[in-house]
Structure 1
Amino acid sequence: MRDGSLNLDDFEDLIERPDSGLRRDAEDRRARTALPVKALGRLDELGGWLAAAQSSVPVRPVVSPRLVLFAGDHGVAELGVSGRAAGTARQLVQGVLDGESPGVILARRLGVEVRVVDMSVDCAEDELPPDVTRHRVRRSSGRLDFEDTLTAEEAEQAFRAGMAVADEEADAGTDLVVLGDLSVGGTTAAGTLIATLCGTDASVVTGRGGAGIDDLAWMRKCAAIRDGLRRARPVQGDQLELLATVGGADLTAMTGFLLQCAARRTPVILDGVVSGACALVAQRVAFRAPDWWLAGQANDEPALGKALDRMALEPLTEHGVSVGGGVGALLALPLVQAAAQLAAELPELPEQQDDAEDGDGDGDGPSGGAGAASALDAT
Structure 2
Amino acid sequence: MFNEKIYNLNNLNKEKLLSLIKSISPTDKKKYYKIAESRLNRLIKPKESLGRLEKFVCDVVAITENKRPVVKNKYVCVFAGDHGVAFENVSAFKQEVTAQMVANFLSGGAAINTIANSVNAKVIVVDVGVNADFGDDFLNNENFINAKINKGTNNIYIEPAMSYDDALKSLYAGINIAEKLIKEGANICSTGDMGIANTTPSSAIISFYSGVEPKMICGYGTGVDRKTICKKVMIIEKAIKHNIIDEQDPISVLAGIGGFEIGAIAGFIIGCALKKTPVVVDGFISTAGAVIAAKLNNNCLDYMFLGHLSKEKGHKTAVALINKKPILNLDMHLGEGTGAVLAMKIIEASMDMYNNMLTFDEADVIASNKNK
**TM-score in same-fold range (> 0.5):** yes
Aligned position for 1:272: 283
- The whole-number CA distance in structure 1 between the counterparts of 2:215 and 2:258 is 18
- The whole-number CA distance in structure 2 between the counterparts of 1:111 and 1:79 is 39
Taking a change above 3 Å as real, the CA distance of residues 249 and 61 of structure 1, as seen in their structure-2 partners, is same
* 1:125 CA drift (Å): 3.4
Within the alignment, does 1:5 sit opposite 2:5 as a pair? no
* 1:6 CA drift (Å): 2.4
**Where in structure 2 are the equivalents of 1:353-368 lying within 5 Å?**
none
**8 A contact 1:202–1:222 mirrored in 2:** yes
- The whole-number CA distance in structure 1 between the counterparts of 2:134 and 2:105 is 17
**8 A contact 1:145–1:225 mirrored in 2:** yes
Work out which of the residue numbers 52, 63, 82 in structure 2 matches 1:53. 63
- The whole-number CA distance in structure 1 between the counterparts of 2:236 and 2:148 is 25
Taking a change above 3 Å as real, the CA distance of residues 167 and 32 of structure 1, as seen in their structure-2 partners, is same
Taking a change above 3 Å as real, the CA distance of residues 19 and 375 of structure 1, as seen in their structure-2 partners, is closer
Aligned position for 1:90: 99
Aligned position for 2:5: none
* 1:375 CA drift (Å): 12
Within the alignment, does 1:199 sit opposite 2:211 as a pair? yes
Aligned position for 2:317: 306
Q: Which amino acid aligns with 2:65?
A: S
Work out which of the residue numbers 139, 149, 156 in structure 2 matches 1:130. 139
Q: Which moved more, 1:214-223 or 1:62-71?
A: 214-223
Task: Give aligned pairs, total.
Answer: 356
- The whole-number CA distance in structure 2 between the counterparts of 1:135 and 1:114 is 16
Aligned position for 1:283: 294
* 1:372 CA drift (Å): 5.0
Normalising to structure 1: TM-score of the pair? Answer: 0.88
- The whole-number CA distance in structure 2 between the counterparts of 1:143 and 1:170 is 34
Q: Which amino acid aligns with 1:328?
A: G
Give the number of the structure whose alpha-carbon radius of gyration is greater: 1
**8 A contact 1:142–1:248 mirrored in 2:** no
Name structure 2 gaps, 5 residues minimum.
1-8
- The whole-number CA distance in structure 2 between the counterparts of 1:226 and 1:261 is 33
Q: 1:89-113, CA deviations, whole angstroms, 9 ceiling, x for partnerless residues?
A: 1011111112111011111121111
Taking a change above 3 Å as real, the CA distance of residues 345 and 230 of structure 1, as seen in their structure-2 partners, is same
* 1:88 CA drift (Å): 2.4
- The whole-number CA distance in structure 2 between the counterparts of 1:144 and 1:270 is 25
**8 A contact 1:60–1:341 mirrored in 2:** no
**8 A contact 2:360–2:367 mirrored in 1:** no
Q: 1:44-88, CA deviations, whole angstroms, 9 ceiling, x for partnerless residues?
A: 11111111112122x333110101000011111111111211342
Aligned position for 1:178: 190
Percentage identity across paired residues of the two chains: 24
**8 A contact 1:197–1:236 mirrored in 2:** no
Partner secondary structure for residue 66 of structure 1: strand
Partner secondary structure for residue 361 of structure 2: coil
Taking a change above 3 Å as real, the CA distance of residues 372 and 101 of structure 1, as seen in their structure-2 partners, is closer
Partner secondary structure for residue 149 of structure 2: coil
Q: Which amino acid aligns with 1:82?
A: S
- The whole-number CA distance in structure 1 between the counterparts of 2:367 and 2:277 is 40
Aligned position for 1:362: none
Work out which of the residue numbers 64, 79, 88 in structure 2 matches 1:70. 79
Q: Which amino acid aligns with 1:79?
A: E
Within the alignment, does 1:327 sit opposite 2:344 as a pair? no
* 1:127 CA drift (Å): 7.3
- The whole-number CA distance in structure 2 between the counterparts of 1:249 and 1:44 is 36
Within the alignment, does 1:142 sit opposite 2:154 as a pair? yes
- The whole-number CA distance in structure 2 between the counterparts of 1:207 and 1:255 is 22
* 1:236 CA drift (Å): 2.3
- The whole-number CA distance in structure 1 between the counterparts of 2:119 and 2:86 is 33
- The whole-number CA distance in structure 1 between the counterparts of 2:370 and 2:293 is 48
**8 A contact 2:245–2:256 mirrored in 1:** no
Taking a change above 3 Å as real, the CA distance of residues 215 and 348 of structure 1, as seen in their structure-2 partners, is same
Partner secondary structure for residue 79 of structure 2: strand
**8 A contact 2:206–2:317 mirrored in 1:** yes
Aligned position for 1:26: 36
Aligned position for 1:222: 233
Within the alignment, does 1:155 sit opposite 2:163 as a pair? no
* 1:212 CA drift (Å): 2.2
- The whole-number CA distance in structure 1 between the counterparts of 2:97 and 2:208 is 27
- The whole-number CA distance in structure 1 between the counterparts of 2:307 and 2:255 is 27
Taking a change above 3 Å as real, the CA distance of residues 134 and 334 of structure 1, as seen in their structure-2 partners, is closer
- RMSD over aligned CA atoms reads 2.3
Within the alignment, does 1:167 sit opposite 2:179 as a pair? yes
* 1:150 CA drift (Å): 1.1
* 1:25 CA drift (Å): 1.1
* 1:38 CA drift (Å): 2.0
- The whole-number CA distance in structure 1 between the counterparts of 2:75 and 2:86 is 29
Name structure 1 gaps, 5 residues minimum.
352-365
Q: Which amino acid aligns with 2:66?
A: S
Within the alignment, does 1:42 sit opposite 2:52 as a pair? yes
**8 A contact 1:207–1:300 mirrored in 2:** no
Q: 1:307-353, CA deviations, whole angstroms, 9 ceiling, x for partnerless residues?
A: 211211000000011111111111212211111111111222229xx
